[in-house]
Amino acid sequence: MRILITGGAGFIGSHLIRLLLSKPQHSVLNLDTLTYAGNRTTLEEFNRNSNYQFQQLDLGLCSIDTLSEVLENFAPDWIMHLAAESHVDRSIDSPANFIRSNIIGTYHLLEASRRYFTGLNQTQRDSFRFLHVSTDEVYGSLSHEGLFSEESAYDPRSPYSASKASADHLVRAWHNTYQLPTLITNSSNSYGPNQYPEKLIPVVILHALCNQPIPIFGSGQNVRDWLYVEDHVAGLYRVIQKGQVGQSYNLGGENELTNIQLVHMICDQLDQLKPREDHTSYREQISFVADRPGHDHRYALDITKISKELGWRPQTDFTVGLELTIRWYLEHPDWLQDPDRLSG
């Protein structure tokens, strides 16, 4: 397959490309604007593969004509759309960037894809797929019980989740109105190696290692479900291969933890893997800070549909995945200080 990936220099996108390039039958074109979270070192790794191409492009700023030309030249069988602004705190401070990237960027890509799809012959149409990668945050906040299913009503609470919900609705509209063969995944919190250190797990690891206060919103009782990134991208691959056109699929890790439970686990593993010089626990660096505005209490996904229909389930035990993640950061102490890692 010829596969166009958007956002392939980011955390999940880079792991997805690595999975796809491990299969010699696939060719990949990566479209990425290279924001602060774009990893250029990863791109250098991919550039050594003859089945990989890269083009720097901002979906929210480029024209539909430009995107149409890219699609015509590459002639993808599949489009996997991961490009997005994704950090809730940044969306609260600068919502305009999220509107441009997540909503306008998705619209531009859908329109260019519709034009491209219209020009395909019937055999090509039958195999073409457009996968939109979304989040569990579009469903809003859960109380202490229950799970979000694919039928749950949308109730986004932050500029980030509202922008992703908007993009989900656009994707469904382009399927229903124009018969574009789309699929949507909504996933829980991904974690793993080389995640940009604004998300909770790398923030805790790096603050701990730098002997800085480890910030915890509120009382730390907010609950999140954690999905190892390699399980996530395996799920994306399964959905675009075997998913039913027009459907959405929840990808959850079935690893619910309060934030404070998670931070304690990270501190305890660091105590074993890299003890502090004074042999005290990293837990002593924990610092509770003012809660995030509109902080959702709990996210949790029902993965019955994808498990029964597509045979996917997360494979990585959370304790194992967390240790792999921590070890990666310990083995890459200069990751943040590498000036070539960031786009500018």
Are 214 and 282 in contact, with CB atoms under 8 Å apart? yes
Which residue among 107, 139, 160, 282 is the active-site one?
160
What's the average model confidence in pLDDT over 184-205?
Answer: 92
Q: Is 137 designated active site?
A: yes
pLDDT at 338 over 70: no
Q: pLDDT value at position 341?
A: 37
| CA dist., res. 212 & res. 285, Å (int) | 7
Report the 10 Å Cβ neighbour count for 86. 25
| CA dist., res. 161 & res. 320, Å (int) | 29
Q: What pLDDT, in 10s, does the model give residues 114-137?
A: 999 999 999 999 999 999 999 999
Six token digits for residue 329: 């950061």
Any residues with CB less than 8 A from the CB of 12 and at least 6 apart, and which? 82, 133, 190, 229, 232, 233
**Helix, strand, or coil here: 79?**
strand
Q: What pLDDT, in 10s, does the model give residues 122-178?
A: 999 999 999 999 999 999 999 888 999 999 999 998 899 999 999 999 999 999 999
Question: Looking at this protein, which amino acid is placed at residue 176?
Answer: N
Which residue among 32, 136, 168, 231 is the active-site one?
136
Which residue among 32, 85, 137, 296 is the active-site one?
137
Cα R_g (the chain), whole angstroms:
20
Q: What CATH superfamily is the domain 2-190+228-254+300-315?
A: NAD(P)-binding Rossmann-like Domain (3.40.50.720)
Locate the domains of the chain by residue range. Answer: 2-190+228-254+300-315
Q: Is 178 designated active site?
A: no
